[in-house]
Amino acid sequence: MKNTIKVERARNNMTQAELADKVKVSRQTINAIETGKFIPSTLLAFKIAHVLQVSIDAVFRLEDCDW
């Protein structure tokens, strides 16, 4: 799963730590999601999109799916 969290954070002048605080996770979790090492739960994905003020599909994209 690809994401645009880093880009959207920059548009909102927000650090990883600030986003993490707003969605109640660690900065390390945000970093892991941004780098593709961790796929967030649906609820966390919606929280991130809400805080970044974009739709969930603007932040998260499924790529190379076989379905």
Domains in the chain and their CATH numbers? 2-61 (1.10.260.40)
Asked whether residue 15 carries a pLDDT value surpassing 60, the answer given is yes
User: pLDDT class for 63, splitting at 50, 70, 90?
Assistant: confident
pLDDT score at 1 = 81
pLDDT tens digits for range 22-53: 999 999 999 999 999 999 999 999 999 999 99
Residues 6+ apart with CB under 8 A from 43: none
What is the residue whose two structure tokens read 């796929």? 39
pLDDT score at 44 = 98
Q: CB–CB of 62/36 below 8 Å? A: no
Residues 6+ apart with CB under 8 A from 9: 15, 16, 19, 52
Q: What pTM was estimated for this model as a whole?
A: 0.90
Tokens of 57: 């599909």
